[in-house]
């Protein structure tokens, strides 16, 4: 540290705890309590980054979340590195490693800096205009643009940190722990409300806590002393929960808010292990009080972006809070009184202040008079017209303003300056208010947007609502909070506040220079490098809406979301187009207020917790027997069981051959199961299925097809009549929940008169499905007393038996075309009954098969899978399943739609079979089918929905949907692939056992 930039004895920085950190490879030191920004400044480092487009050197500009320039890459680990971290927000910890972004090879010598000299060639919209044509070149352009775009580097490895979510509820949520928020918290707590107070910094108190001037007094005490007592009081208040290092990210409707708390980011890396890094609070508040304060505005003048140019409030905070001087030759440039507080702080700390430049003609307030009395040179009615110093400001040139304030007159005056503290007034932080749907109004006096109308139970107080002077802040906060909470009296009612009052106001959105605008660089958005010129260009080119101007110039589109730039952009648009700023409106403020890490958003829902998954009671057996699994809805279903390094194809061929030639067993537990009871259950089935159910006898099963009201197939499954008014319906695995809610919907809203009760019993039963020519022998071995003859137990019937005191429901139904028994038992006995079947089937080579084999077996029989062979545009007629539509029933769901003009079209897509000319060629599911591939554009006739190689038929088979497919049977068509064209013939959908003989074994 060559220069003496540290001021000793500051209460917020612990000089006994020295911390080391590395910036761009250089080891530096700071103290506990520093932010990374204050530590860098104490080492005389201003230059920390390069701007996005022109690669201009940029320095630390602010002391908060509005920082546009000092965004760094933290950490050098592939997994833990964090891009775009604001140096002004991160608390210094021992061993912190950080690097500048957007520069190469280094921040001091950046090759991209050549863009600065090319800047006349890079106006707003340059990229839009240049890379539009020829369109085919975009892929080439994109490669280079992507390389030069973007600021930080994202981590390459999985995030090893832990994140957490928590719900919170409160009577009053207070956002912001400054003086207004603290007063509101105390008033609410005294009224016995449960208060949640959020503060994004590590300490409460806002900017008043380090205020050191002698003019502001509360109850005859120094304002910061008064505030400290209030904070102590609040910390001991049992009604108030305080969360510091917690920033509000989003304010949604119905007072639902998201806040992010940093738990370990301020600790040295070694102290973080096994701790949660960040926590996301999901807060539901009865009432919300927004006390987020205000952000100081910069001024817009030529070369206003050099390192060393900072907000006046930031310069003050670095001195009064962190004890760091930002420069040794300071100049203040302002249009208002607040910067004079910075002047007093500089004076008190013994820091040299060369001059104050004020665009106003004069100011007669108490604070300005005090500065005048100290003999500090003030240039009234002057403006900065240029600055010098490439990597750090070293000189400024000032000139006198003319009467209108739109030009400069007189002689140039040059001043030495290594830190220029600028202030263009204050902007209330209304982001949260507008996020919540609140409407703003424009205040002409201070040129600010303030909260106006809201539908929610919320209040904005303090400088967040546009009160900037201490007496207004305190008295209005007390008054408004009392009214909001409907309280008559508070302990603050007799508060006595003294402060300086600003009388003279003047604002110029774009300050004039001695050079024409086209030769200057007055920056608005520092991060995105947009200047006042760009705004004017956008307006000249016809962009009128502020939303369009924003997107064309990218003003306000950086990671800082235009916190500093937006007001000037609006002001310049208003001035140029002669519009009132209030009529112009603002751009939309969207959450999050400050960027969130993905980890925080995701919380614990990572890895195996990303989505819930459901396992059948037989799952462990599948795992033990080497099953590969497939996701079906949320279920993990056994897909196939490879043996000795078999490929999927080989395993499926073996499994399906075994099922056809001897026996196979499938875990069918995942099928949706709905228990239906009630005196109107039969009538209900008649209304929801296309076929007739009136004559179904107890102990019999029936296949049913369910449509949507639009006539399209929705679900299918077998329903069994268990008793007079008792049915068990099965649904597809994926459709179970939807079917259940659809049936509930009809029962509750359309047919409340029906006496029917539905219970989802999917999880209550496990199902083992044994099929194949030897299935009967296997079942007979297990259930010795059960009569399995076709007369006593025919296809599509059901028996209830006991095995070892376990109730078993056995359905003789088949999805494979083979003789097949489905044994349903209570879930906890699922694995037991499965293993019984495996044991009994051993001598018959019983082969467990998965979903892939099941799909193949049913495709050989031409059975559809809803969702694979249908897609919500297929009627039963399209599926060639006319037989299942009852002609007798007056009505069922979807019936009327089956003869709409569209559904009776003959050229609809219809389900057909496809056989490849080469029996070994397996079609790809999803492949398109055409008649003529030479005539362009090629007419697409349909696509393949299911395709397999059948080991029983020794050829490839496929199902497809095809335009006018019914008429095309026997026709030769083509399936063009990327490397060949496959010849196919349209066939029947049933490939195997058309006579249904296998069903009886």
Partner 1 sequence: MFLINCPYCGERDQSEFVSGGEAHIARPKQPTELNDDQWAEYLFMRKNIKGIQFERWNHAHGCRKWFNVARDTSNDKIEKIYKMGEQPPKL
To partner 1, the closest distance from the beta carbon of 255 in angstroms equals: 8
Count of other CB atoms within 10 angstroms of residue 840: 19
b/e 928-958 (16+ beta carbons within 10 angstroms → b)? bbbeeeeeeeeeebbbbbbbbbbbbeebbbb
| Number of residues forming the site for partner 1 (CB under 8 A) | 23
Choices 250-258, 328-336, 584-592, 657-665; region in contact with partner 1 by CB under 8 A = 250-258
Judged by beta carbon, residue 253 or residue 845, the one nearer partner 1 is: 253
Q: How many Å is the Cα radius of gyration of the chain?
A: 38
Q: How far apart are CA 7 and CA 14, in angstroms?
A: 12
Residue 741 in contact with partner 1, rule: CB under 8 A: yes
To partner 1, the closest distance from the beta carbon of 480 in angstroms equals: 23
Out of 271, 744, 843, 882, the only residue in the binding site for partner 1 (CB under 8 A) is 744
The 3-state DSSP class for residue 91 equals: strand
Residue 886 in contact with partner 1, rule: CB under 8 A: no
Choices 101-109, 232-240, 253-261, 368-376; region in contact with partner 1 by CB under 8 A = 253-261
150: which residues sit within 8 A by CB, 6+ positions away?
none
To partner 1, the closest distance from the beta carbon of 262 in angstroms equals: 24
To partner 1, the closest distance from the beta carbon of 254 in angstroms equals: 5
Note whether 550 and 327 are within 8 A (CB): no
To partner 1, the closest distance from the beta carbon of 744 in angstroms equals: 6
Length of the chain: 1001
Helices (H), 349-427: 366-373
User: Omega into 153 within 30° of 0, i.e. cis?
Assistant: no
Judged by beta carbon, residue 252 or residue 615, the one nearer partner 1 is: 252
User: Omega into 283 within 30° of 0, i.e. cis?
Assistant: no
Judged by beta carbon, residue 516 or residue 752, the one nearer partner 1 is: 752
To partner 1, the closest distance from the beta carbon of 189 in angstroms equals: 24
SS3 content of the chain, % helix, strand, coil (to 5): 25, 30, 45
Q: How far apart are CA 907 and CA 944, in angstroms?
A: 17
Short-list 403, 581, 588, CA closest to 509: 581
Q: Which two tokens stand for residue 267?
A: 């600790």
Judged by beta carbon, residue 453 or residue 935, the one nearer partner 1 is: 453
Choices 59-67, 119-127, 422-430, 743-751; region in contact with partner 1 by CB under 8 A = 743-751
Residue 455 in contact with partner 1, rule: CB under 8 A: yes
Judged by beta carbon, residue 660 or residue 742, the one nearer partner 1 is: 742
The residue ranges of DSSP E strands in 130-275, in sequence order, are: 162-175, 195-198, 217-218, 221-222, 240-243, 246-252, 256-262
Q: How far apart are CA 566 and CA 585, in angstroms?
A: 11
Residues 429-448 that bind partner 1 (CB under 8 A): 437
Helix (H) or strand (E) holding 820: strand 820-826
Binding mask 746-785 for partner 1 (x = CB under 8 A): --xxx-x---------------------------------
Q: How far apart are CA 583 and CA 213, in angstroms?
A: 39
Count of other CB atoms within 10 angstroms of residue 877: 17
Q: Which two tokens stand for residue 880?
A: 């060639």
Residue 745 in contact with partner 1, rule: CB under 8 A: yes
Short-list 555, 84, 71, 61, CA closest to 318: 61
Short-list 205, 246, 199, 589, CA closest to 428: 589
- CA 173-179-183 angle, 5° bins: 60
Judged by beta carbon, residue 744 or residue 763, the one nearer partner 1 is: 744
Judged by beta carbon, residue 252 or residue 799, the one nearer partner 1 is: 252
Note whether 814 and 844 are within 8 A (CB): no
The residue ranges of DSSP E strands in 681-791, in sequence order, are: 701-707, 713-723, 726-731, 757-760, 765-771
To partner 1, the closest distance from the beta carbon of 571 in angstroms equals: 30
Out of 6, 153, 165, 252, the only residue in the binding site for partner 1 (CB under 8 A) is 252
Choices 380-388, 490-498, 798-806, 894-902; region in contact with partner 1 by CB under 8 A = 894-902
DSSP 182-194: HHHHHHHHHTT--
To partner 1, the closest distance from the beta carbon of 485 in angstroms equals: 20
To partner 1, the closest distance from the beta carbon of 48 in angstroms equals: 39
Residue 677 in contact with partner 1, rule: CB under 8 A: no
Residue 792 in contact with partner 1, rule: CB under 8 A: no
Q: Which two tokens stand for residue 139?
A: 């892929």
Beta bridge partners of 871: none
Q: How far apart are CA 929 and CA 976, in angstroms?
A: 7
Residue 897 in contact with partner 1, rule: CB under 8 A: yes
Judged by beta carbon, residue 750 or residue 787, the one nearer partner 1 is: 750
Residue 202 in contact with partner 1, rule: CB under 8 A: no
Note whether 751 and 758 are within 8 A (CB): no
Out of 135, 489, 890, 934, the only residue in the binding site for partner 1 (CB under 8 A) is 890
Choices 223-231, 415-423, 738-746, 767-775; region in contact with partner 1 by CB under 8 A = 738-746
Query: Judging by DSSP bridges, how do beta strands 820-826 and 765-771 pair with one another?
Result: antiparallel
DSSP 462-473: GGGGT--SHHHH
To partner 1, the closest distance from the beta carbon of 896 in angstroms equals: 4
Choices 55-63, 359-367, 740-748, 833-841; region in contact with partner 1 by CB under 8 A = 740-748
Residues 900-939 that bind partner 1 (CB under 8 A): 900-901
Place of tokens 């004039």: 512
To partner 1, the closest distance from the beta carbon of 200 in angstroms equals: 22
To partner 1, the closest distance from the beta carbon of 286 in angstroms equals: 10
To partner 1, the closest distance from the beta carbon of 253 in angstroms equals: 5
Long-range contacts of range 713-716, CB-CB < 8 Å, 24 or more positions apart? 713/864, 713/866, 713/870, 713/874, 713/875, 713/876, 713/879, 714/739, 714/742, 714/866, 714/894, 715/739, 715/866, 716/864, 716/866
Note whether 387 and 394 are within 8 A (CB): no
Residue 835 in contact with partner 1, rule: CB under 8 A: no
Judged by beta carbon, residue 320 or residue 715, the one nearer partner 1 is: 715
Note whether 594 and 558 are within 8 A (CB): no
Choices 189-197, 246-254, 603-611, 787-795; region in contact with partner 1 by CB under 8 A = 246-254
Sheet holding 806-812, edge to edge: 797-803, 806-812, 820-826, 765-771, 664-667, 847-848
To partner 1, the closest distance from the beta carbon of 457 in angstroms equals: 11
To partner 1, the closest distance from the beta carbon of 458 in angstroms equals: 13
Out of 361, 547, 709, 882, the only residue in the binding site for partner 1 (CB under 8 A) is 709
Out of 139, 644, 891, 907, the only residue in the binding site for partner 1 (CB under 8 A) is 891
Q: How far apart are CA 454 and CA 696, in angstroms?
A: 61
To partner 1, the closest distance from the beta carbon of 748 in angstroms equals: 5
Choices 394-402, 441-449, 742-750, 766-774; region in contact with partner 1 by CB under 8 A = 742-750
Choices 252-260, 649-657, 863-871, 916-924; region in contact with partner 1 by CB under 8 A = 252-260
Residue 496 in contact with partner 1, rule: CB under 8 A: no
Out of 17, 896, 905, 972, the only residue in the binding site for partner 1 (CB under 8 A) is 896
Q: Check the CA dihedral 480-485-491-493 and report its sign.
A: positive
Residues 274-303 that bind partner 1 (CB under 8 A): 284
To partner 1, the closest distance from the beta carbon of 250 in angstroms equals: 10
Q: Provide the binding-site residues for partner 1, judged by CB under 8 A.
A: 252-254, 256, 284, 437, 455, 709-710, 741, 744-745, 748-750, 752, 890-891, 895-897, 900-901
């Amino acid at each position: 540290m060559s220069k003496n930039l540290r001021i000793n004895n500051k209460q917020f920085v612990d000089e006994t705890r020295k911390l080391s950190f590395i910036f761009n490879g250089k080891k530096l030191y700071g103290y506990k309590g520093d932010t990374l920004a204050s530590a860098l400044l104490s080492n005389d480092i201003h230059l920390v980054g390069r701007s996005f487009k022109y690669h201009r050197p940029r320095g630390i500009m602010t002391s908060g979340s509005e920082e546009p320039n000092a965004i760094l890459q933290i950490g050098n680990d592939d997994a833990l590195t964090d891009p775009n971290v604001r140096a002004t927000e991160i608390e210094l910890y021992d061993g912190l490693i950080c690097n500048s972004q957007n520069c190469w090879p280094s921040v001091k010598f950046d090759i991209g800096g050549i863009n600065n000299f090319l800047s006349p060639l890079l106006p707003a919209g340059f990229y839009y205009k240049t890379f539009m044509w020829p369109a085919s070149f975009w892929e080439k352009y994109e490669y280079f643009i992507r390389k030069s775009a973007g600021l930080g580097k994202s981590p390459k490895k999985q995030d090893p940190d832990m994140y957490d979510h928590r719900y919170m509820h409160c009577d009053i949520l207070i956002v912001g722990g400054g003086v207004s928020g603290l007063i509101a918290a105390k008033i609410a707590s005294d009224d016995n409300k449960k208060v949640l107070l959020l503060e994004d910094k590590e300490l409460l108190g806002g900017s008043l806590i380090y205020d050191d001037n002698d003019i502001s007094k509360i109850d005859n005490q120094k304002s910061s002393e008064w505030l400290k007592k209030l904070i102590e009081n609040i910390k001991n208040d049992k009604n108030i929960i305080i969360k510091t290092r917690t920033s509000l990210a989003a304010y949604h409707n119905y007072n639902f808010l998201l806040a992010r708390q940093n738990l370990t980011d301020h600790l040295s890396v070694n102290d973080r292990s096994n701790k949660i890094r960040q926590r996301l609070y999901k807060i539901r508040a009865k009432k919300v009080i927004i006390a987020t304060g205000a952000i100081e505005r910069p001024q817009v003048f030529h070369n206003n972006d050099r390192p060393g140019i900072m907000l006046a409030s930031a310069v003050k905070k670095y001195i009064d809070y962190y004890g760091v001087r930002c420069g040794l030759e300071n100049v203040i440039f302002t249009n208002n009184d607040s910067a004079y507080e910075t002047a007093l702080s500089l004076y008190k700390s013994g820091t040299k202040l060369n001059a104050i430049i004020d665009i106003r003609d004069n100011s007669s307030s108490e604070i300005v008079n005090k500065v005048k009395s100290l003999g500090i040179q003030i240039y009234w009615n002057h403006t900065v017209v240029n600055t010098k110093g490439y990597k750090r400001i070293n000189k400024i040139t000032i000139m006198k303003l003319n009467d209108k304030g739109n030009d400069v007159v007189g002689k140039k005056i040059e001043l030495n300056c290594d830190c220029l503290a600028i202030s263009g007034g204050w902007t209330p932080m209304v982001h949260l208010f507008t996020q919540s749907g609140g409407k703003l109004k424009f205040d002409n006096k201070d040129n600010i947007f303030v909260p106006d109308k809201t539908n929610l139970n919320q209040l904005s107080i303090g400088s967040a609502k546009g009160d900037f002077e201490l007496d207004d802040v305190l008295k209005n906060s007390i008054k408004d909070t009392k009214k909001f909470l409907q309280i008559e009296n508070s302990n603050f009612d007799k508060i006595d506040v003294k402060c300086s009052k600003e009388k003279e106001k003047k604002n110029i959105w774009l300050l004039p220079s001695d050079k024409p605008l086209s030769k200057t660089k007055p920056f608005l958005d520092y991060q995105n490098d947009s200047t006042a010129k760009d705004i004017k260009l956008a307006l000249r080119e016809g962009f009128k809406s502020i939303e369009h101007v924003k997107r064309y110039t990218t003003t306000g589109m950086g990671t800082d979301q235009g916190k500093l730039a937006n007001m000037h952009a609006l002001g310049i648009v208003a001035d140029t187009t002669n519009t009132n700023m209030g009529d112009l409106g603002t751009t939309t403020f969207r959450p999050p207020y400050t960027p969130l890490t993905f980890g925080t958003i995701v919380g614990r829902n990572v890895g195996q917790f990303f989505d819930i998954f459901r396992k059948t009671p037989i799952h462990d057996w599948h795992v033990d027997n080497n099953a590969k699994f497939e996701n079906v809805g949320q279920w993990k279903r056994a897909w196939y069981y490879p043996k000795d390094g078999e490929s999927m194809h080989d395993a499926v061929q073996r499994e399906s051959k075994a099922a056809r030639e001897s026996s196979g067993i499938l875990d069918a537990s995942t099928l949706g199961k709905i228990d239906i009871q009630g005196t109107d259950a039969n009538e209900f089935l008649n209304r929801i299925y296309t076929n007739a159910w009136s004559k179904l006898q107890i102990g019999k099963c029936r296949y049913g097809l369910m449509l949507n009201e639009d006539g399209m197939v929705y679900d299918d499954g077998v329903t069994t009549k268990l008793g007079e008014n008792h049915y068990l319906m099965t649904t597809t695995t994926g459709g179970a929940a939807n079917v259940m809610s659809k049936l509930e919907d009809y029962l509750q809203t359309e047919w409340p008169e029906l006496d029917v009760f539905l219970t989802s019993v999917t999880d209550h039963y496990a199902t083992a499905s044994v099929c194949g020519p030897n299935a009967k022998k296997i079942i007979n071995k297990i259930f010795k007393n059960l009569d399995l003859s076709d007369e006593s137990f025919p296809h599509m019937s059901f028996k209830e038996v006991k095995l070892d005191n376990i109730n078993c429901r056995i359905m003789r139904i088949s999805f494979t075309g083979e003789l097949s028994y489905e044994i349903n038992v209570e879930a906890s006995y699922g694995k037991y009954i499965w293993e019984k079947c495996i044991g009994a089937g051993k001598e018959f080579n019983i082969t467990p098969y998965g979903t892939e084999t099941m799909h193949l077996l049913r495709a050989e029989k031409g059975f559809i899978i809803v969702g694979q062979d249908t897609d919500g545009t297929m009627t039963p007629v399209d599926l060639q399943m006319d037989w299942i539509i009852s002609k007798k029933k007056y009505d069922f769901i979807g019936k009327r739609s089956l003869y709409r003009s569209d559904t009776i079209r003959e050229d609809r897509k219809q389900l057909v079979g496809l056989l490849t000319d080469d029996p070994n060629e397996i079609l790809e599911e999803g492949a398109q089918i055409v008649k003529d591939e030479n005539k362009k554009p090629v007419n697409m006739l349909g696509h393949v929905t299911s395709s397999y190689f059948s080991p029983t038929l020794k050829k490839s088979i496929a199902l497809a949907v095809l335009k006018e497919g019914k008429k095309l049977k026997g026709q030769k068509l083509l399936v063009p692939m990327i490397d060949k064209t496959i010849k196919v013939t349209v066939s029947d959908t049933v490939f195997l056992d058309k006579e249904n003989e296998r069903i009886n074994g």
